[in-house]
């Protein structure tokens, strides 16, 4: 007999904060800054709807300051990571010195059940999706000692001014001065840290 939904949900409520703590600790270590620099927590679980929320539990487990602003987004599914990065980008653009800890958890235990000869289609979902948690630190204006894993510059009418260190130049910039291409973007496969400089 399969476990009830409530039983599976109870298991998830205990395990998601633990897995999230591990992922967050790796992201914080990879960032190279103390956890006291974190100003926001954006958390997006696919399950674990409870009160107090998983964000609160994670804040306590990590020992984050109570002033860390928390945002929970539920049931984003496949859009979770992109949505968390989008919200984190907006937060960094609108809050000076913000450092956002973004976490997505995908735990499928709630929808998991044994194979059935009459419902072979259920095996497809179970084969495609698995459990996991990912964490990332997103911020703007990294410290001099910090090496961002990824830098982003949005296209804007003020791009030339931004690239010229805030000095507006009336003359057209040579193409060499606008080298914002692959060679300037560094992504480390093993890094769980993204620092976005907008």
The set of catalytic residues is: 78
Residue the block writes with tokens 């859009």? 79
Enter the tokens of residue 161. Answer: 């001014």
What string of DSSP letters covers 9-41? HHHHHHHHHHHHHHHHHHHHHHHTS-GGG--EE
Q: Are the C-beta atoms of 12 and 48 separated by less than 8 Å?
A: yes
What string of DSSP letters covers 135-159? EEEEESS--TT---S-------TTH
């Amino acid at each position: 007999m399969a476990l009830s939904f409530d039983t599976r949900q109870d298991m998830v409520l205990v395990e998601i904060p633990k897995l999230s703590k591990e992922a967050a600790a790796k992201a914080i270590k990879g960032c190279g800054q103390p956890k006291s620099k974190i100003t926001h927590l954006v958390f997006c679980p696919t399950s674990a709807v409870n009160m107090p929320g998983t964000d609160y539990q994670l804040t306590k487990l990590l020992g984050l300051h109570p002033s860390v602003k928390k945002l929970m987004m539920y049931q984003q599914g496949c859009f979770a990571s992109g949505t968390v990065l989008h919200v984190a980008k907006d937060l960094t653009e609108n809050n000076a010195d913000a450092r956002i800890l973004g976490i997505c958890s995908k735990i499928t235990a709630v929808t998991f059940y044994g194979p059935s000869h009459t419902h072979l289609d259920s095996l497809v979902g179970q084969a495609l999706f698995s459990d996991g948690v990912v964490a990332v630190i997103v911020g703007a204006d990294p410290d001099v000692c910090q090496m961002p894993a990824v830098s982003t510059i949005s296209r804007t009418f003020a791009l030339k001014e931004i690239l010229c260190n805030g000095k507006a130049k009336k003359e057209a910039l040579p193409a060499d001065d606008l080298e914002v291409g692959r060679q300037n973007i560094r992504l480390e496969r093993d890094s769980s840290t993204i620092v976005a400089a907008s």
